[in-house]
Amino acid sequence: MSKTSKTAYAILGMLTIEPMSGYDIRQLMQKSTAHFWSESDGQLYPALANLTELEWITCKLAKKNTRDKKIYSITKKGRTELKKWLTEEALTFSVRDEFLLKLFFGANIAPRINAEHIAARRYQVKSSIAQLKATKDYLMQEEKNSPHLTYWLMSLDYGIKLAQAKLAWCDEVINKLNVE
Amino acid sequence: MSKTSKTAYAILGMLTIEPMSGYDIRQLMQKSTAHFWSESDGQLYPALANLTELEWITCKLAKKNTRDKKIYSITKKGRTELKKWLTEEALTFSVRDEFLLKLFFGANIAPRINAEHIAARRYQVKSSIAQLKATKDYLMQEEKNSPHLTYWLMSLDYGIKLAQAKLAWCDEVINKLNVE
DNA sequence: TCGCACATGTAACGCGTTACATGATTAC
DNA sequence: GTAATCATGTAACGCGTTACATGTGCGA
């Protein structure tokens, strides 16, 4: 197991929800953790093979009509490793926001162009709020009894709160640039 | 020039503030853009050499006492390229927050442990707010006449607003976990 | 019948980090 | 005298993305 990559744990975590295929995991990540964590295909599939070899997960072939599908489940060993990781302090945190980097150097171009960039960002943020809220409503209806619900809602509320702060900031700075 | 890396532009932008050494650029990044953008030594120094070769920047040796120091300046060509980039829409945006990933899977461990993680995070966020505010105060006093000030304050306000939202979220979810 | 969603993977590439190497100066 | 800061770089490594390869099933 690699010492720095968290891909394995992201997979293990997803498999505590229910047994899933690699494709399902990717879909679920895009719907649920994308606003703070994501993995690409090139990470996911090799990691699944590796975890199977380690016996942290097992694989069962499912015939879905004529097409094969690999359904992965977490093992006892896998659960132990996951819990160990969940208990440790989180260290990895990285952001790279090209938009803010450009704005930081905004004095080099016309205020109008910066204002346009902010307006575009505002639109994106607004869409993301709508999407996060829709997911929240969906979960509260469809996953009422899931033991995961509390934590899923927490991570969603985090995303919503941050996005709302971003929105408020956009409005504030657009005003500042327009009066200049 | 690489098509995906923004290191070159981050350097060019910094050099529009004033001529600087590689060491200065790194220091400045850590003090100013770290909350949304950063570069490591292994990116910075080769990029400086590369940009000099392209004539987007120039290099002058400064004798600081007996020790050599390379002071870089942005060229006209460099300014043109920077402005071009600043005008284009920002595309790169990535976050990886291990803390939130762990919380998302929090149902697998005791609520108390999750609460502890959140408390640790709360402390970090609080420190970062203090630091961002201190930087803001410093800039408003010491850079009153800089043409960059408006944009620097905007990026700081972004960081402060977001951190405050994070703080509010921490308080909210800690309460939720404690009453359970 | 055309395109999209489902489904699993591999290979190349290069970005970005970490550790290493070196040495001067300054503050305690 | 010794630890921290100033100062510049290189080399190895591997994480993570992107593009490629392949094929099925289904709805319009």
User: What proportion of chain A, given as a percentage, has pLDDT over 70?
Assistant: 97
How long is the CA A66 to C1' C1 vector, in angstroms? 22
pLDDT at B28: 97
Query: What contacts A82, CB < 8 A, 6 or more positions away?
Result: A9, A12, A13, A16, A74, B105, B108
Instruction: Show residues of chain B in contact with A164, CB under 8 Å.
Output: 165
Average pLDDT over residues A37-56: 97
pLDDT at B148: 98
- Angle, vertex CA B90, rays to CA B2 and CA B22, nearest 5: 50
Q: Is the CB of A66 under 7 A from strand D?
A: yes
**Residue with CA nearest C1' of nucleotide C12:** A42
Token pair for B94: 């990535």
How long is the CA B5 to C1' C13 vector, in angstroms? 13
Determine which of A5, A33, A104, A113 to mutate to test the interface with B (most B C-beta atoms within 10 Å). A104
- Judge whether B77 is closer than 8 Å to chain A, CB to CB: no
pLDDT level of residue B67 (50, 70, 90 thresholds):
low
Q: What is the pLDDT of residues B94-111, one digit of tens each?
A: 999 999 999 999 999 999
**CA–CA distance, A49 with A58 (Å, rounded to integer):** 10
Q: Is the pLDDT of residue A58 over 90?
A: yes
* Measured CA distances, B124 to A82, A144, B164, B178 (Å): 25, 33, 12, 20
pLDDT at A180: 66
Nucleotides of C under 7 A from a protein CB: 6-12, 14-20, 23-26
* Chain A 13-42, residues with CB within 8 Å of chain B CB atoms: 13, 16, 32-33, 35-37
Determine which of B97, B122, B124 to mutate to test the interface with A (most A C-beta atoms within 10 Å). B97
**CA–CA distance, B153 with B159 (Å, rounded to integer):** 10
pLDDT at B66: 57
Average pLDDT over residues A3-12: 95
Q: Is the pLDDT of residue B65 over 70?
A: no
H or E element in which residue B58 lies: strand B57-64
Q: How much is the pTM?
A: 0.95
pLDDT at B180: 66
- Angle, vertex CA B89, rays to CA B86 and CA B95, nearest 5: 100
Q: What is the pLDDT of residues B113-164, one digit of tens each?
A: 999 999 999 999 999 999 999 999 999 999 999 999 999 999 999 999 999 9
Least CB–CB distance from A165: residue in B36, B155, B162: B162
**CA–CA distance, B126 with B114 (Å, rounded to integer):** 18
Average pLDDT over residues B14-29: 97
Q: Is the pLDDT of residue B71 over 70?
A: yes
How long is the CA A69 to C1' D22 vector, in angstroms? 15
* Chain B 126-145, residues with CB within 8 Å of chain A CB atoms: none
pLDDT at A3: 81
* Chain A 86-115, residues with CB within 8 Å of chain B CB atoms: 86-87, 89-109, 113-114
The answer to whether B165 and A161 are in contact (CB under 8 A) is: yes
* Measured CA distances, A82 to A4, A15, A75 (Å): 15, 10, 10
Helix (H, G, I), strand (E, B) or coil at B59: strand
Q: What is the pLDDT of residues B77-94, one digit of tens each?
A: 999 999 999 999 999 999
CB contact under 8 A, A98 and B96: no
pLDDT at B63: 72
Find the residue in A nearest to B88 (Cα): A117
Average pLDDT over residues A13-22: 97
CB contact under 8 A, B97 and A16: no
User: Could you give the count of Cα atoms lying within 13 Å of A84 in the half-sphere of its Cβ?
Assistant: 8
- Angle, vertex CA A90, rays to CA A89 and CA A91, nearest 5: 115
